[in-house]
Amino acid sequence: MGRLSGKVAIITGAARGMGEVTARLFAEEGAKVVLTDVLVEDGRRVAAEIGEAAIFVAHDVRDEDQWKAVVKAAVDTFGRLDILVNNAGILRFVTLAEMTKEDFEQVIAINLTGTFLGIKSVAPVMMAQHSGSIVNISSTGGFRAMNSTGAYTASKFGVRGLTKAASLELGHHGVRVNSVHPGGIDTPLTNPDAKSTEEVNANYGRFPMQRAGQAIEIARASLFLASDDASYCCGAELVADGGGLSGQYFPGLPGAPPSMQTT
Ligand SMILES: NC(=O)c1ccc[n+]([C@@H]2O[C@H](COP(=O)([O-])OP(=O)(O)OC[C@H]3O[C@@H](n4cnc5c(N)ncnc54)[C@H](O)[C@@H]3O)[C@@H](O)[C@H]2O)c1
């Protein structure tokens, strides 16, 4: 029996990257999965590859009416709704001085408002059945900033905060709400030119694990929080970042790996 047997999950942004891998893993673990995305062709293909356990719904997470349609499709097709993974997100590298108001608002609308709408849309169903798990994909950017990611950082701090508020409001209804905080993961978001793993990893030498993460490593973190294994986790922050939030190696000081030594 899979760790999600009998459960029904909605996963946003599931046409590629972490959302796709999460949908595939959840289905392998026995869940019925509703994949949603603005990338319709890719989303349909992934759902078809998963098979009978999956459907795809075209969905922009900024649109409240489309959220209603997604929840209805989940319940009409599979009879219930147990899990939401608020995964859809975008990243723009622009300094605050150069960013337009439209750029800023677009990132907030997808990453933060989209997550709010997801929580709001599934809450009535999950509260009525007195069970559910909502997994919000934040980022290590929900703890600390990186230059040229002002809107993204603000949105991911926001997702972390929203998770706390939701865990209070829904926890006593039997609905757990938690956040996942990936570090740099090798997906089309961070690696649009599909550079080799070696090239990608070269940017991570200053962090303990000295490599980027893979989408499956985040999918497994979401699986834990989505499953009954996490039955006492509510409002928790699950960091999966190869040690990045611990700090960075200072070249030349004892304890740094050989690749970071200056001589
Ligand atoms: N890749 C990383 O290093 C990293 C690190 C930390 C957090 N994250 C977060 O993980 C999540 C998944 O990222 P990924 O790396 O798999 O990126 P990705 O770009 O590969 O996938 C994101 C998916 O979201 C979809 N999407 C974008 N706008 C949408 C909208 N308005 N409505 C519905 N779907 C929309 C895209 O079409 C895409 O399929 C994002 O929230 C991202 O911020 C990624």
Identify the pLDDT of residue 263. 61
Taking the CA of residue 182 as reference, the ligand 1 atom at the shortest distance is 6
Render pLDDT for 25-58 as a digit per residue (tens, 0 to 9).
999 999 999 999 999 999 999 999 999 999 999 9
159 alpha carbon – ligand 1 mean position (Å): 14
Taking the CA of residue 189 as reference, the ligand 1 atom at the shortest distance is 19
What are 33's strand-pairing partners? Answer: 9, 54
Taking the CA of residue 215 as reference, the ligand 1 atom at the shortest distance is 16
Protein residue closest via CA to atom 43 of ligand 1: 89
Point out the residues that are catalytic.
152
Q: What is the DSSP string of 106-161?
A: HHHIIIIIHHHHHHHHHHHHHHHHT-EEEEEE--GGGTS--TTBHHHHHHHHHHHH
Render pLDDT for 110-126 as a digit per residue (tens, 0 to 9).
999 999 999 999 999 99
Nearest Cα residue to 64 out of 103, 15, 114: 114
**Mutation pick for ligand 1 pocket among 90, 200, 216, 222 (CB with most ligand atoms within 8 Å):** 90
Q: Side by side, which strands form the sheet with 83-86? A: 54-58, 32-37, 8-12, 83-86, 132-137, 175-182, 237-240
Asked if residue 151 lies in contact with residue 107, where contact means CB atoms within 8 angstroms, the answer is yes
Identify the pLDDT of residue 252. 87
Which spans in 149-241 are helix H? Answer: 150-171, 197-201, 215-226
**HEC assignment per residue over 66-113:** HHHHHHHHHHHHHCCCCEEEECCCCCCCECCCCCCHHHHHHHHHHHHH
What average pLDDT does the segment 236-251 reach? 96
Identify the pLDDT of residue 261. 74
What average pLDDT does the segment 215-234 reach? 98
The CA-atom distances, in angstroms, between 2 and each of 138, 208, 251 are 26, 33, 45
Torsion of CA 170, 175, 179, 185, to 10 degrees: -140
- 8-92+115-145+156-260 domain in CATH 3.40.50.720? yes
Q: In 10 A of CB 212, how many CB atoms?
A: 23
17 alpha carbon – ligand 1 mean position (Å): 7
What average pLDDT does the segment 146-169 reach? 98
In whole angstroms, what separates CA 184 from the centre of its chain?
Answer: 12
> Is the shortest distance between the CB of 160 and ligand 1 below 6 Å?
no
Identify the pLDDT of residue 249. 96
The residue type found at 146 is M
Nearest Cα residue to 223 out of 1, 26, 72, 87: 26
Asked if residue 225 lies in contact with residue 133, where contact means CB atoms within 8 angstroms, the answer is yes
Query: What's the pLDDT band for 73 if we cut at 50, 70, 90?
Result: very high
> Is the shortest distance between the CB of 12 and ligand 1 below 6 Å?
yes
232 alpha carbon – ligand 1 mean position (Å): 27
Render pLDDT for 91-147 as a digit per residue (tens, 0 to 9).
999 999 999 999 999 999 999 999 999 999 999 999 999 999 999 999 999 999 999
Protein residue closest via CA to atom 36 of ligand 1: 13
Domain limits, the chain: 8-92+115-145+156-260
What span, in angstroms and rounded, lies between the C-alpha atoms of 172 and 186? 37
Render pLDDT for 162-191 as a digit per residue (tens, 0 to 9).
999 999 999 999 999 999 999 999 999 999
**Mutation pick for ligand 1 pocket among 18, 64, 93, 103 (CB with most ligand atoms within 8 Å):** 18
158 alpha carbon – ligand 1 mean position (Å): 16
Nearest Cα residue to 235 out of 156, 127, 162, 138: 162
